[in-house]
Amino acid sequence: KMSEVSEVTTKADIKPKSMHRARIWSDDVENLYRFQQAGYRDEVEYKQVKQVDKVECWPETGFVKKLQRRDNTFYYYNRQRECEDKDVRKVKVYVY
């Protein structure tokens, strides 16, 4: 399952038109939480900065498995949900 963000082609510098906070948890919110923990806006920015075509995901859940931070250290994530209900409102959802 491709997230909506994956469909946005990674051109030179795509900037979001607007941003709002997540209200309820979803698979997309879970992945945004993981990108933002690693210091990126979302999948689009990660692919631009790291010059990668694909992000490593868990096949069972489709959640992001591993991200490389800007300082080149890695974040490893579980198969299961990591974004708790109390953290959902912290997640920024960008609109392109």
The per-residue pLDDT for range 20-72, each reduced to its tens digit, is 999 999 999 999 999 999 999 999 999 999 999 999 999 999 999 999 999 99
Number of domains in the chain: 1
Instruction: Give the residue, 33 or 3, on which the prediction is more confident.
Output: 33
pLDDT at 90 over 60: yes
From CA 53, how far away is CA 79, in angstroms rounded? 21
What pTM, to 2 d.p., does this model score? 0.85
12 is a domain residue: no
**pLDDT confidence of 12, banded at 50, 70, 90?**
low
Segments in 1-96 forming alpha helices (H): 27-37, 43-50, 85-88
61 is a domain residue: yes
Instruction: Tell me which residue range forms the domain holding 61.
Output: 52-86
25 is a domain residue: no
